[in-house]
Structure 1
Amino acid sequence: MTRIFASLLVLVTLGFAPAAMADEAPLSRSDVETIVREYLLANPEVLEEAFAALQTKRQEEAAVARTASLELYRDALETSEHGAVLGNPNGDVTLVEFFDYNCGYCRRAMDDLDRLIEGDPNLRVVLKEFPVLGQSSMEAAAVSIAVLNVAPDAYAEFHDRLLGGEGQASEDVALQIVSDMKLPRDQITELMRSDKVRDAIQESYEIAQALGLSGTPSYVIGDNVEFGAVGYDALKLRINEARCGATSC
C-alpha cells in the first residue's frame, strides 16, 4: 500500500496522472495537497505503517552506531583506571555497570549484581560512576572516586554502605561512612576536588553519550547494552552470550 501511494505521489508531483486523467491539465500544488490529504484520511493506517518503518530504521541506525561506539570505547569501558573492579579481576567476561548512588533502581539491583558475582567465579565487574540525579549524586560520586584512589581495598565495602544506605546519598553522608570506616578522610577530601575525579566522571559521561545511555542502571556486557534494572536472569543471559555465544553454557 505504501509503495503504491508513494508511486502515485511521484507521478502527480511531476505533473503526470493515471490514464483516466491524461487529458486534464497538470495538477497544481493545491491539487496534490488535496489528493494526499484525502488519501491519508481514507487510509490512516498508512501513517501507522510509515511511523513503524521510521522507528525500525532509527533503531537499526542506533544499533549500528552503538556497535561502533562499543569498539571505540572498549578500553575505557573495561580497563580504564577510573573504573572500580569487583569480582574476579582476571575473569573471562566483563560486566560494566553505570550507576548513581541516588538511583533507587540501582539500589534494588545490588542483589542481582551480588548474586552474579557470588555464583560466577569468572565474572569481572566494572563500576562506572554516572551521577545524573543532581548535585548530591555528583558529590557522592566524587567521594567514591576519591576512596577508590586513596583506599582501593576498602572501596567495595564503602560502595555497598553508600549505595545500600537509606535516604539520599550526599557528600556529608559519604564522608560519614569514610569516618566510620576509619579511612584517611583528609586525603580523600583533598582528592575530591582534583582533576582525577573530574576526569573519571567526564569519561563516564562521554561513553554514556556515545552509547545512548540516559539513565541508571545501565549495563554493557560484551557487545550488548542493557538499559535499566533488567534483573538477574537478563544479565545472566548476556553473560552467557558473551562467554560461549549462547543463552546457556
Structure 2
Amino acid sequence: MADTAPNPRSPWVILALIIVALIGGLGGWLLGSRQTPTEKAAIEEIVRNYILENPEILPQAMERLQARENGKQVASAGDALTAPFPGAVLGNPNGTVTLVEFTDYACGYCRASVPEVEALIAANPDLKVVIRELPILSPASAEAARWSLAAAEQSKFEAFHKAMFAAGRPAADTIEAAATRAGMDLDRARKVIAEPRVEAELKRNLALAQQLRIDGTPSWVIGEQLLAGAVGQKVLQDAIDAVKAGPKR
C-alpha cells in the first residue's frame, strides 16, 4: 500500500496541533517567567489534570481551530471563489449574500440538496448561489458539467441544473435528455463545450477545491465558513443568517 500524507483536516491531526500549541504556549510562558524545576512540574501537572478533568475542551478547541483555519483558506481564495462562470448562478444574481456550492451531477447527496437550495432561495430573496462544477466522481459527470456551463452561456443554467439531477446519473443519453428538457440549442452547446474557457473553468474549480482542501461534494462556502457534505437546510440557513448579522464584536 502506498504511503499517504496525513489529512490536514483529520481530527487527530488537529488534536496534535492543539497539544503542540498548549505545550508550546506553556513552554514559552515558563521560559519567560523563569520558574524553578519544581514550579514547572507543578504547573505542568495542573494543566494535565485540567485537561483530564475537562476533556470536552479538546473538541471545542478543535472546532474553533478548524473554523479559524477554514476562514484563512476561504480568505486566501479571494474573489476567485465567489466570481461565477457567467450565468452559472441560482437565486438572485445580484444578491448581497453569496453561497458557493461545489457539486457533481453524479453525486446523490448533491441531488438530494437541490430542493433544500430551492427552499433557501425562496426564503432569502437576497441569496446568490454560485455553482462551482466539481466533476470528480466519473467521466460522465465531467461531460455533464461541460453541458451545464454551455447551458449557462444560453441562460438555461437553472433549467439544465434541475433537469440533469432529475434525470439520474449522468450518461450520454441522460445529458442530452436534460439539455433538451431545458430548451437548449444543442448544436450551439456543442460549440461552446469545445471552447477553452469551459475546460479552464473546470480546472479553476478543481484548483479552488484543492486550495480549500475540499475532497468531496457537496461542499459549501458562505462568509468564512466551509461546510462539507449534506449538512442540511437548517445548517445552511444558520450560516446565511450569520453572514447577514455581520461579524461578531
* The two structures share one fold, judged by TM-score above 0.5: yes
Secondary structure in 2 matching 1:112 = helix
- 1:191-230 to structure 2, matched below 5 A, reads 191-230=192-231
Which amino acid in 2 is paired with 1:125? V
Stretches of structure 1 that go unaligned for 5 or more consecutive residues are 7-47
CA drift of 1:87 comes to: 1.0
Rounded to whole Å, the distance in 1 between the matches of 2:98 and 2:188 is 31
Check if 1:76 corresponds to 2:80: yes
Secondary structure in 2 matching 1:124 = strand
Contact 2:84–2:131 under 8 Å retained in 1:
no
Counterpart in the other structure of 1:112: 116
Contact 1:82–1:200 under 8 Å retained in 2:
no
Describe the shift of the 1:211–1:83 C-alpha distance in structure 2 as closer, same or farther (beyond 3 A).
farther
Following TM superposition, where does structure 1 have runs of at least 4 consecutive aligned residues deviating by more than 4 angstroms? 52-65
Secondary structure in 2 matching 1:199 = helix
CA drift of 1:99 comes to: 0.4
Secondary structure in 2 matching 1:183 = coil
Secondary structure in 2 matching 1:126 = strand
RMSD between aligned alpha carbons? 3.0
Secondary structure in 1 matching 2:180 = helix
Stretches of structure 2 that go unaligned for 5 or more consecutive residues are 1-18, 24-51
Contact 1:100–1:131 under 8 Å retained in 2:
yes
Which amino acid in 1 is paired with 2:216? G
Rounded to whole Å, the distance in 2 between the matches of 1:191 and 1:56 is 48
- 1:1-249 to structure 2, matched below 5 A, reads 63-81=67-85, 84-149=88-153, 151-152=154-155, 154-166=156-168, 168-245=169-246
CA drift of 1:103 comes to: 0.4
Describe the shift of the 1:191–1:127 C-alpha distance in structure 2 as closer, same or farther (beyond 3 A).
same
TM-score by length of 2: 0.70
Rounded to whole Å, the distance in 2 between the matches of 1:204 and 1:83 is 15
Describe the shift of the 1:203–1:61 C-alpha distance in structure 2 as closer, same or farther (beyond 3 A).
farther
Rounded to whole Å, the distance in 1 between the matches of 2:73 and 2:144 is 28
Contact 2:160–2:181 under 8 Å retained in 1:
no
CA drift of 1:86 comes to: 1.3
Describe the shift of the 1:179–1:226 C-alpha distance in structure 2 as closer, same or farther (beyond 3 A).
same
Rounded to whole Å, the distance in 2 between the matches of 1:179 and 1:71 is 39
Counterpart in the other structure of 1:40: none
CA drift of 1:194 comes to: 2.2
Secondary structure in 1 matching 2:197 = helix
Rounded to whole Å, the distance in 2 between the matches of 1:113 and 1:72 is 26
Describe the shift of the 1:89–1:179 C-alpha distance in structure 2 as closer, same or farther (beyond 3 A).
closer
Rounded to whole Å, the distance in 2 between the matches of 1:182 and 1:239 is 32
Secondary structure in 2 matching 1:220 = strand
